[in-house]
Amino acid sequence: MIRTQVQFTNEQFAVLKSISAAEGISMAELIRRGIEQYLSSRKLSDKQSRTQRAIEAAGRFRSGVKNLSAKHDQYFAEVIS
């Protein structure tokens, strides 16, 4: 683990101290858990964002080829050869 310093307001410190005492864990552990929860929610949010962008991109581009979904390998091979 990496050690770092963080500054809290008096109110934040008091609440963290109270919660950690009630949970029976150190303030450091409480803060690590909070950060982990935040990072997990960000990952989900990023995944949802990528999914939404993919949905929005679907159908935007037209090749003019009627059977592209059935013969995409053939067309791809022609392009790269």
pLDDT of residue 34: 97
pLDDT in tens, the chain (81 residues): 999 999 999 999 999 999 999 999 999 999 999 999 998 887 777 888 888 888 888 877 777 888 888 988 998 898 898
Query: What is this structure's pTM?
Result: 0.56
Q: What b-and-e string marks burial along 32-62, b requiring 16 or more CB atoms within 10 Å of the CB? A: eeeeeeeeeeeeeeeeeeeeeeeeeeeeeee
pLDDT of residue 61: 77
Query: What domains are defined for the chain?
Result: 1-58 (1.10.1220)
76: amino acid identity, one letter:
F
